Structure 1
Amino acid sequence: MPCSNSGVERHLVGWPEPFKPEHLIPLSKNYTHWEHLNEHMKYSAKVKQVMAPGSVFVASIREPLSHFYSYYNFYKMENTYKGYLKEPDKFKYFLDNIKTMPHLELIHHMPPSNPIAQCFGIKQEEQYNTIAIQEKIEEIEKEFDLVIVVEHMEESLILLTECSDLTIEDVVILKNANVGHFKKSKPILTPNEYENLIQWNLADSMIYNHFNKTLWRKIEKFGHDKMAIKIKELRMAQSIKQKKCDSVKRKSILKRVEDLKIKHDCMIQNLNYIGADKYFRNKMTEKGIYDIERAQKTCKYPPDKHGE
Structure 2
Amino acid sequence: MIFSICLGLIFLSGFFHMKNENYVILKSHEELLIPSTPCHATTNVMFLKTHKTASSTVLNIMFRFAERYNLTVALPADQLVHLGYPNTFLAHFVEGFQAVGQNYNIMCNHLRFNPSEVQKVMAANTFYFSILRNPISLLESSYVYYKDNVPAFRNSKDVNEFLESPQKYYQAADYRQNIYARNIMWFDFGYDNNAENNKKYVQVVLKEIEQSFHLILIADYFDESMILLKHTLCWDLDDIIYFKLNSRSQDTVQTLTPESKERIKAWCSLDWQLYLHFNQSFWRRIEETIGLELLEQEVNHLRMRQKELMETCLSEQEAVGKDNIRNKALLPFQSGAANILGYNLRQDLNNRTLRTCQRMIMPELQYTSYLYAVQHPQKKRKQLGLPQLLTSV
Partner of 1:80: 151
Q: Residue 260 of structure 1: CA displacement? A: 2.0
Within 1, Cα distance between the matches of 2:356 and 2:311? 13
Instruction: Choose from 151, 165, 168 the match for 1:97.
Output: 165
2:114 maps to a residue whose letter is S
Partner of 2:107: 37
Q: Residue 22 of structure 1: CA displacement? A: 0.8
Partner of 2:266: 199
Query: What is the CA deviation profile of residues 273-308 of structure 1, one whole-angstrom value per residue up to 9, with x for unaligned ones?
Result: 22122111111123xxxxx6xxxxxxxxxxx44466
Indicate the SS of the match to 1:60.
strand
Q: Residue 206 of structure 1: CA displacement? A: 0.5
Q: Structure 2 vs 1, CA of residues 22 and 239 (structure 1 numbering), >3 Å: closer, same or farther?
A: same
* Alignment of structure 1 residues 32-71 onto 2, 5 Å: 32-46=102-116, 47-71=118-142
Partner of 2:364: 273
Partner of 1:162: 231
Partner of 2:374: 283
Within 2, Cα distance between the matches of 1:71 and 1:282? 31
1:126–1:132 CA contact under 8 A, matched in 2: no
Gap regions ≥5 residues in structure 2: 1-74, 316-343, 384-393
Instruction: Choose from 257, 277, 286 the match for 1:219.
Output: 286
Within 2, Cα distance between the matches of 1:201 and 1:79? 16
Is 1:22 matched with 2:113?
A: no
Within 1, Cα distance between the matches of 2:250 and 2:308? 30
Q: Structure 2 vs 1, CA of residues 263 and 83 (structure 1 numbering), >3 Å: closer, same or farther?
A: closer
Q: Residue 53 of structure 1: CA displacement? A: 3.1
Q: How many residues are aligned here?
A: 277
Partner of 1:3: 77
* Alignment of structure 1 residues 141-156 onto 2, 5 Å: 141-156=210-225
Identity %: 21
Q: Structure 2 vs 1, CA of residues 100 and 131 (structure 1 numbering), >3 Å: closer, same or farther?
A: farther
1:246 maps to a residue whose letter is L
Greater Cα offset, 161-170 or 119-128: 119-128
Indicate the SS of the match to 2:131.
strand
Partner of 1:230: 298
Within 2, Cα distance between the matches of 1:305 and 1:84? 39
Q: Residue 233 of structure 1: CA displacement? A: 2.0
Give the alignment's Cα RMSD to 1 decimal: 2.9
Query: What is the CA deviation profile of residues 177-199 of structure 1, one whole-angstrom value per residue up to 9, with x for unaligned ones?
Result: x22457354513133x2222111
Gap regions ≥5 residues in structure 1: 287-291, 293-303
Q: Residue 131 of structure 1: CA displacement? A: 2.6
Partner of 2:346: 250
Q: Structure 2 vs 1, CA of residues 68 and 82 (structure 1 numbering), >3 Å: closer, same or farther?
A: closer
Partner of 2:19: none
